[in-house]
Each structure stands twice: as structure tokens, then as C-alpha cells.
Amino acid sequence: MAKPPPEEFDVRFRGIWGSQLWLRTFEEAYRGEFPREAAPLSDCTWRTLGDMVAELRLNPGSILVDIGCGQGGPGCWMARALNCELIGIDHSKVAVEQAAETAKSFNIAERSTFRLGFLDATGLPSESAHGVIMVDSMPFAESRTAVLGEVSRILAPGGRAVITVTEVLDWNPEKPKGVADWTPLVRAAGLTLTKKIEQSGVFDRTERLFTLWREQRDALAIEIGPEAAELTYQDAEMVSPWVNKRRHVMLVCEKLARFDVATDR
């Protein structure tokens, strides 16, 4: 299926920016699990932020790259918590501009930059990142292999990446769609899959969220604009049928340090 162009994300981001009603739907659906300050456009919960902190293991001053950063909330939250430098990459011009505003509200503007770029072509130098996060941006990859290759290229040896993805539970080789197991893909990109962390409760949260969006349809159209509201309903209709047919996991990937690679042989 064709992936949404950046202009479509521009419409979404322009619409939801600063909308209290939009945030309230997430708060209600997520029942205390929604990190409001980060205002993610994803299934990023307090637990997700905590898992990312635990797995990235970044030192103060290190460089964290958020690929598909959107409005920047999860990356800014991490960079503030870990006292590191943040580089956010997104193909949406509106997202990149809004993410810079988000960084100001997190008081990390002087150690953050947000740039236009692609999931598989970030424009960053090789081995320049100590940590990478991708929160619900992998589904938009034209080529998963190319995106994992880009993550591997920009990670410095010893660096880690956390990537939220889904695995198809009832994978049918006759009609291959989605990924049954990310392990071989990660390995082929030259990364080690340290662990997969199950993200529980996604189905219940998203079902509650989609129900609220349907109930609030008219009010949302006024608040975020008819175009953004229409895209929101389209998302809900598209995601609803498969969300409970997949396992939602966080991949924790590591680029082995050269010393480790050598001793592995």
C-alpha cells in the first residue's frame, strides 16, 4: 500500500498542534498511561519512555537521534531525562518546525536540532549517533531493510537503537504481509537484537481511542479541521482490523563495538 506523503502528515500535525480536545481523547483512552507533556502521535506510553531509558543506556552529552520524530515530544522527553543532544529527523516540514517549538518548551532548544530527512536517508554522518529511537515510524518505511541499514550506518559502535514495530501473529507464507519475526532483518543490517520487549495493552488503548474519535467526530472536525479529522478516521478504520492480529514489540538493537565483533569470531 502507498505510504502517506509528507504533505498528509503536515495536515495532521497542523491540525492537532495545541488541541486540548485531541489530547483529552488520548488521556481518556490511555487511562493514566499517556505522557501528556510529550504528546506523542503514537502508542508511546509512560512505560515506553521508561523502557527506552532503560535500554538506550546513554551517558550525558551523548547524541540521540529520533527518526520519524513527528512533533518531537518523545525525543525531547528522552533528551531532557538523559541530558543528551537530540537530532530529530522527519519528512514533514510542519513536524520539524513544531518539534523545534517542543524542544523550547522542554528547555532543551540549545542542544536539539530538527531536520528534514527520510527514514532510510537521514543525511547524518556514519557512526555519529550513540542512540536511536523510532517510535511508530517504521510502519511508514518503503523498505524495512533500507531503514534498518540506515540505523546501523549512523550508529556508533556500541550504540543502541530502540524501535517499536509489530509482528504478525498468524503469518501466512502464501500471502506474505508484514513481518513475522524481525530477528533476521535486524541481523542482516549488521545489528544484534538484544531483546524484544512486548508492549502490552495496545489493542485496548487504541480501541478506546478510536471509539472516542468516532464519538467526538463533529467536535474534532471543528477543533483540528475537517481535513485532519478525515485523515484521523481513515487511520482508525485502517488500523482497527489488524491491531489485535499483531504482537506489538520494542526491538532493542545494538551495534557491536569493534572489540566485541573481533572477540565474537
Q: Which residues in this chain contact ligand SAM in the complex, by CB under 6 A?
A: 9, 40-42, 44, 68-70, 73-74, 90-92, 95, 118-119, 135-137, 140
CB of 70 to ligand SAM, least distance (A): 3
Name the residue nearer to ligand SAM (CB basis): 179 or 256. Answer: 179
CA-wise closest residue to 157 among 12, 21, 9, 260: 260
Strand order in 129-134's β-sheet?
A: 112-116, 85-90, 63-67, 129-134, 155-168, 246-254, 192-198
Q: Which is nearer to ligand SAM, 42 or 192 (CB)?
A: 42
Contact 99, 6 (CB under 8 A): no
Smallest gap from Cβ 120 to ligand SAM, in A, equals 7
Give me the least distance between CB of 74 and ligand SAM, in Å please: 5
Which of 20, 263 has the CB closer to ligand SAM? 20
The least CB distance from residue 185 to ligand SAM, in Å, is 17
Q: Between 4 and 158, name the residue whose CB sits nearer to ligand SAM.
A: 4
Q: Which residue is nearest to ligand SAM (CB)?
A: 70
Judged by phi (left if over 0) then psi (alpha if -120 to 50, else beta), residue 224 lies in alpha
Closer residue to ligand SAM, CB minimum distance, 212 or 222? 212
Cβ-based burial of 149 (10 A; exposed 0-12, middle 13-18, buried ≥19): middle
Minimum CB–partner distance for residue 119 and ligand SAM (Å): 4
Do the Cβ atoms of 192 and 201 come closer than 8 Å?
no
Q: For 70, what's the count of Cα atoms within 13 Å in the CB-facing half-sphere?
A: 21
Q: Which is nearer to ligand SAM, 102 or 216 (CB)?
A: 102
List all residues 6 or more positions away from 47 whose beta carbon is below 8 Å from its beta carbon: 33, 199
Minimum CB distance to ligand SAM, residue 22 (Å): 12
d(CA 260, CA 182): 22
**158: nearest Cα among 120, 119, 121, 192:** 192
For 113, phi and psi rounded to 5 degrees? -135, 145
Q: Which is nearer to ligand SAM, 47 or 171 (CB)?
A: 47
CB of residue 69 to ligand SAM, shortest distance in Å = 6
Task: Residue 35: count other Cβ atoms within 10 Å of its Cβ.
Answer: 19
